[in-house]
Structure 1
Amino acid sequence: MQNFKLNDGNHIPALGFGTYKSTEQEGIEAVSFALQNGYKLIDTAAFYHNEEAVGKGIAKSGIAREDVFVTTKLWRECLGYKSAKEEFELSLQKLGLDCIDLYLIHWPANAKNYNDWQKANADTWRAMEELQQEGKIKSIGVSNFFQEHLEALFTTAKVKPAVNQIEFHPGYWQKDLVQYCQQQGIVVEAWSPLARGKVFQNELLQSLAKKYNKTIAQVCLRWIIQHDVVAIPKSTTNQRIIDNLDLLDFELTTDEMNTIDGLPQMGFSGELPNIWPDKV
């Protein structure tokens, strides 16, 4: 599997393993199995309440720590300089690690929830920059940041975010935001890459899967990677975990990419960073 180079010189695998809702023993087994079968990137978050299981899965896998890229995230209700430092240490302890490869602000502060949302994000980012300087984090980034949140952050940041993890899938891929991030040298990472399962009923994706003798999931993941975006599908089914890695023996044509790009909205979570916790 290919890697994408980050703006800080580090590299992130183009395909990772998502762990949302993978908890307790099921999460341990899924993470261990994924690593033993070729995944290098494991994505978790404090909000998932499974960092301990993920850490145990990494240990159980027997894969060397330097061969695993670990991402976790700071929850949106814990923003601020002091809180970010404290929450990071908790995540580190739960994961049983001494360093995180990528640490993200899970959702930006917004005007609905913070009197000064720009300062809340800036103070959080300053704490993360310091943790990076201390060698506790290799790369720092954000998640669910719109352009307005990024531009505000740029006014005080000493380090540009390496990654912006956003909702990205057929039927909702935030083209303008992706283009802006890539112009800024920020790698985009896709959460909910299979549109909450809505892709499986789509006739276009069904026909492409048949053409290439691939699963619909494989077609969607290939589409994401061909956009130079990192995909992090999640599964606790061993065969699907293996299948999701099998993306290198086919390539979608430019016309096929454009047709998928043009699919009408489907699978959108309704979650927007400027109005959380409400949905549209």
Structure 2
Amino acid sequence: MYSDKTLTLNNGIKISQIQLGTWPINNDDVKKVVRQAISVGYRAFDTARDYGNESGVGKGIWNSDVERSDIYLTTKLPTAVKDYEGTKKAIDEALDRFSLEYIDMLLIHSPQPWIEVNRTNDRHFEGNLENWRAMEEAVKAGKVRSIGVSNFLQEDVANIVNNGTIKPAVNQIEVHIGHVPTDLMKYCENLGIQIEAHSPLAHGRLLKDRKINAYAKKYNVSPAQLMLAFDLQLGCIVLPKSDNVSEMKENLDIDFEISGEDMADLIKLKENTQAMSV
């Protein structure tokens, strides 16, 4: 079962292939959600400063019966921060909000501040390198175990790889049936950068899609399980979000394999919506 499967990052650290995404669960509710997720078997969680729920995620981890060393926690820098000193401050503030001694994975949330996404061509190459310099120092100081990027295109990844000391461990991007950025995925994989799939369920948009439901019926699974299995078989780490215990359990219960022929057919399916950043 994929619930027990781990992948090894380029720095030798193992990471769960199925994690719980926490966007956009609010800070008051996420503490309970994290505790419930831990109780049904999740051991890895994804959040971000811009989600506004880091302290709640931290409390959920603290108030569980599982050792901190058995939990894998990912968070992301505020997208508005693109300078060295601001990044150092953001890392320390995140540790304070979590009330934890270290963060397992820290990501640059986006190459551009949200206010500029899809509005300007400025990729903030210098600012992202300032982020990365402070993040590398945080790794050396033991504040962060692994570092990576999110929503990065090839040119953004190349900027970090060509100018940094530590190679990104992951690139967290949108991947799901209907949206498979094959060229970007292959580019990262060739560099040894693991793909994490945010929005693997397309924010629920495709759960009633006729073709997806037909394949789900063929494999005797739910449409959500089919979509998650698709990303898992592409080799992605998946980050399904749910605050419902039954759905959490279902999302962990992926113990079937989509045939190569069906995978090829599903890869061809195109969704008529634009990719999102979360």
TM bucket (normalised to shorter chain) is over 0.9
TM-score of the superposed pair, with normalisation by structure 1:
0.92
Deviations along 1:33-63, one digit per CA (max 9) or x if unpaired, are: 1111111110000000000110111112211
Give the counterpart letter for 1:93 in structure 2. D
Which residue, out of 62, 66, 71, partners 1:63?
66
Distance in 1 separating the partners of 2:182 and 2:131: 27
Distance in 2 separating the partners of 1:271 and 1:137: 23
Distance in 2 separating the partners of 1:57 and 1:142: 25
Distance in 2 separating the partners of 1:235 and 1:225: 18
| Residue 172 (str. 1) matches residue 150 (str. 2) | no
Q: Per-residue deviation at 1:114?
A: 9.2
Which residue, out of 220, 228, 232, partners 2:227?
220
| Residue 142 (str. 1) matches residue 145 (str. 2) | no
Deviations along 1:111-153, one digit per CA (max 9) or x if unpaired, are: 9769782211111101000000111111000001100111122
Deviations along 1:221-249, one digit per CA (max 9) or x if unpaired, are: 1110111101000011110011100002x
Aligned to 1:133: 140
Residues 226 and 80 of structure 1: CA distance in aligned 2, closer, same or farther (over 3 Å): same
Poorly superposed stretches of 4+, deviation over 6 Å: 110-116
| Residue 261 (str. 1) matches residue 264 (str. 2) | no
Aligned to 1:27: 30
Which residue, out of 168, 188, 199, partners 1:192?
199
Whether the 8 Å CA contact 1:3–1:14 is kept in 2: the answer is yes
Q: Per-residue deviation at 1:109?
A: 3.6
Whether the 8 Å CA contact 2:179–2:275 is kept in 1: the answer is no
Distance in 1 separating the partners of 2:79 and 2:121: 11
Distance in 2 separating the partners of 1:34 and 1:86: 30
Distance in 2 separating the partners of 1:221 and 1:258: 15
Q: Per-residue deviation at 1:270?
A: 5.0
Distance in 1 separating the partners of 2:276 and 2:72: 29
Aligned to 1:162: 169
Partner secondary structure for residue 105 of structure 2:
strand
Distance in 1 separating the partners of 2:258 and 2:228: 11
> Number of aligned pairs?
271
User: What is the root-mean-square deviation of aligned Cα atoms in Å?
Assistant: 1.8
| Residue 39 (str. 1) matches residue 45 (str. 2) | no
Aligned to 2:128: 121
Residues 212 and 63 of structure 1: CA distance in aligned 2, closer, same or farther (over 3 Å): same
Unaligned runs of 5+ in 1: 273-280
Aligned to 1:100: 103
Distance in 2 separating the partners of 1:238 and 1:9: 32
Aligned to 2:89: 86
Q: Per-residue deviation at 1:268?
A: 3.3
Distance in 2 separating the partners of 1:5 and 1:271: 25
Distance in 2 separating the partners of 1:189 and 1:267: 20
Give the counterpart letter for 1:155 in structure 2. N
Residues 240 and 270 of structure 1: CA distance in aligned 2, closer, same or farther (over 3 Å): closer
Deviations along 1:177-199, one digit per CA (max 9) or x if unpaired, are: 01111111000001111112122
Residues 252 and 114 of structure 1: CA distance in aligned 2, closer, same or farther (over 3 Å): closer
Residues 96 and 267 of structure 1: CA distance in aligned 2, closer, same or farther (over 3 Å): farther
Aligned to 1:275: none
Whether the 8 Å CA contact 1:172–1:266 is kept in 2: the answer is no
Partner secondary structure for residue 156 of structure 2:
helix
| Residue 242 (str. 1) matches residue 249 (str. 2) | yes
Give the counterpart letter for 2:54 in structure 1. E
Residues 116 and 258 of structure 1: CA distance in aligned 2, closer, same or farther (over 3 Å): closer
Partner secondary structure for residue 244 of structure 1:
helix
Give the counterpart letter for 1:66 in structure 2. S
Whether the 8 Å CA contact 2:27–2:54 is kept in 1: the answer is no
Unaligned runs of 5+ in 2: none
Whether the 8 Å CA contact 2:44–2:72 is kept in 1: the answer is yes
Aligned to 1:52: 55
TM-score of the superposed pair, with normalisation by structure 2:
0.93
Distance in 2 separating the partners of 1:73 and 1:169: 21
